[in-house]
Structure 1
Amino acid sequence: MADILDVCIFAGELMLKNGAETYRVEDTVTRMARSYHMARVNVYVTPTAIIMTMRGEEEIVDHTELLRITDRTTDLHKLSLVNEVSRQVASHDIPLEIVKQKLQDINQSTPIYPYWVQLLAAALGSGCFMILFNGTWRDFLPAFIVGGGGYAVFLKVQQLVNVKFFSEVLASFVIGLAAVFLIAIGLGKELDKIIIGSVMPLVPGMAITNAVRDLMAGHLVSGVSRGVEALLTAAAIGSGIAVVLTFL
């Protein structure tokens, strides 16, 4: 019983840490537990915790475990791999030891993208978003430079202080300063388009999407908390840019 509970909680932890919606986590771990013939399964998930209670077919006592989630990121590849394991458990009689080993392999052997890949993606995304918002190709290089530099500041500050709000404020402040500087030296033309494109890698798109989906699924606590998190991120980005533009 304890091993089944540990494996289900571990699967839920991997999903929640890597960007899954709370209702998807609850559904996945419930299906896994029932695949191992648990007669009663109750799961409650928030963005920061997983509480799971289960009982075997011939037992009269519930077994409960609580897991605290402190770090969250976005890694859709890990989510896909965990979902594949859960489907295998639901359709086949897979020994618990094998499932646990597969989950450990997912946790250890699929690291996040290298630092330079993240910066390149942020820089390219900034330039492309600038074009998407009716910018000109003349401003593609400035948006590329500013967006990549701002995201580099975000990652570095996040490593040092581990306070996301402060990292986002400082990164957006640097983006504003860099955009103003490039416009001043004649490298860029439209300040607003460069700034809009450059802050897009910081925008909490996943948090907003998950908040709406959780609310639609009836998970009010998770939906509201994710929505507030997204609003704080948006406020941080806006504050950093506003400070720069105020002194122009």
Structure 2
Amino acid sequence: MLRYLLNACIYYKTWRIETVDIKEVIAEGSTKKVYATNQSDQVVIEFLDTLPLTVSKQKEKVKGKAEINNAVCAHLFEYLESYNVPTHFIKTQNDKSFVAKKLDMIPIAIVVYNVATQDLAKRLHLDTGTVLEFPIVEMYYKDEKRTLPMINEYHAYALGLCDRKEMTNISRIATKVNAVLKSFFERKKLKLVSFQIEFGRTQGQVILGDEVSLDSLTLWPINEDGKLEKPAASKLKDIAFYKMLKDHIFGTAG
């Protein structure tokens, strides 16, 4: 708690909290929109009720998902900040959106696995649900055609996506995010199976951007016997599942 309060003091001295007026949409994905604001160095990120493409290709909506994602995302960004993980989060704007520092986004998606998901298990000939002895970190190039090819650091350098120092910082922060969140979720009786994060530049620094929400995290409940309970695909389209995860995260699960 002391660490959190000290970091909060530093944060408020660094960033002035001013009134933010939303302007035009500057980016839009399947699950959120990004708006320009009257503050040139800030944006507003709004969550949508639309399910991520990894869950549904039909643009299905789950009413109430946006509010849950926004609450979880703000909570986790603030928690990571308390462990000195630099993020773009500034404050909650309303029930569905938050204010963030405007970043020059690095077009690389970092995916970290602690457990073999169905896709990873198929590629590596493992059993789905195998707990990995060491986290697997993968990188995907967010190209204009949105084909998301898997790359490594040498591809990133050759394509001019980032330099070696930035890659070192990305790897360091991703590893720390995994360690901090893994421990956090285990105390909440949840297993951090995998997650996707993105990074951007601001004032010569690489920091965590985009989102850390239930759309970018794969969480499996841990039962009373300590075993993982992989949710059925149908549950991922049910608001009750999102509410259950939120209750675990905020410590209100019955």
Tell me, yes or no, whether TM beats 0.5. Answer: no
Structure 1 or 2: larger helix share? Answer: 1
TM bucket (normalised to shorter chain) is: under 0.3
Instruction: With the length of structure 2 as denominator, give the TM-score of the two structures.
Output: 0.25
What TM-score comes out, normalization by structure 1 length?
0.26
User: 1 or 2, which has the higher strand percentage?
Assistant: 2
Larger radius of gyration: 1
